[in-house]
Amino acid sequence: MPAIQINDINMHYEITGEGQPLLLIHGLGSSSRDWESQVPVFAEHYQVVTFDARGHGRSDKPPGPYSIPMFAEDAAALMRALDIASAHVVGISMGGMVAYQLAVSHPTLIKSIVAANCTPELLVESFKERLQMWQRQLIVRLIGMRKMGEVLSERLFIKPEQEEIRRIFVERWAENDPQAYLASTRALVGWSVAEQLHDLDIPTLVISADEDYAFFGNKAHYAAMMPNADLVVIEDSRHATPAEKPDEFNQAVLNFLATQ
């Protein structure tokens, strides 16, 4: 499996297909494997680049602290190492946050953004929000990553016919390094580029599942703040839309990219 030394880590990455570069950024506790329903479809039209963020998958997992700007700098370094001058960027959840940060920090690297089931800030302010963060950390520390995966799988894939995808999710989640996962979780809290959205003129597609449980804030509100953004809502879907509704997700992305 290809790996490259960028910043202070060995990063796993894969390139599939030919054409304009399309960088896919996975979410918290995920990895490049979870784009398996997207890569073959997108690679028919684009050069698809997937990678495992630091602390995830087959990339190195150095001690924290981590941060969203750090993840974005890793992604920018990967693009430069691969001689990618600019790319379309698709991010889900934490990956969407990294995409927003990339657009703010390195706008010349970004042709367009697809930000799925995320917001450009995570400010934990209410008691309910703090409780959700504490619960996640306590489960990981006291019971382990597999239990965290079981809890999340029941929230992400609620239908009886989704038993197999729940099983795969739990098995993959259990592979996470607990300390790297906790460091990645802490990286999200307090991060924001919301104040920069008004100046973000990069073509952007905001994808929101209609039943997304995660992240606070109104995605339609944030999309309206950007001068060149559209919103697509995918019905009967929760937070893991690319896995749960791959056909609808893929078509929304391809329709958007075809106009760029």
Could you tell me if 62 and 36 are in contact, meaning their C-beta atoms sit under 8 angstroms apart?
A: no
Question: Residue 202 is part of a domain; what is its CATH number?
Answer: 3.40.50.1820
* Number of compact structural domains in the chain: 1
Report the residue count for the chain: 260
Whether residue 58 is contained in a domain is answered as yes
The packing angle between helices 163-174 and 145-156, to 10°, is 150
Residue 180 forms part of a structural domain: no
Output the pLDDT for position 145: 87
Confidence at residue 216, expressed as pLDDT on a 0 to 100 scale: 41
CA-to-CA dists, residue 76 to 98, 136, 247, angstroms: 10, 29, 29
92: Cβ contacts below 8 Å, ≥ 6 apart: 25, 26, 27, 30, 116, 117, 118, 240, 241, 242
- Domain-embedded: residue 117: yes
Q: Return the pLDDT at 207.
A: 96
pLDDT of residue 133: 67
Full-prediction pTM beyond 0.85?
yes
Amino acid 129: pLDDT: 62
Which pLDDT belongs to residue 130? 62
88, two tokens: 């379309």
Q: Is residue 138 part of a domain?
A: no
Q: At what angle do helices 145-156 and 127-142 cross, to 10 degrees?
A: 130
Contact present, 231 and 221 (Cβ < 8 Å): no
In a domain, 46, yes or no: yes
Cα distance between residue 28 and residue 158, in whole Å: 20
- The pLDDT, as a whole number, for residue 1 is 62
pLDDT block averages, 10 residues each, the chain of length 260: 91 98 97 97 98 98 97 98 98 97 97 95 69 66 84 92 95 95 92 94 95 69 93 93 97 97
The whole-angstrom separation of Cα 79 and Cα 73 is 10
Q: Would you state the structure tokens that stand for residue 96, as one six-digit string? A: 């969407």
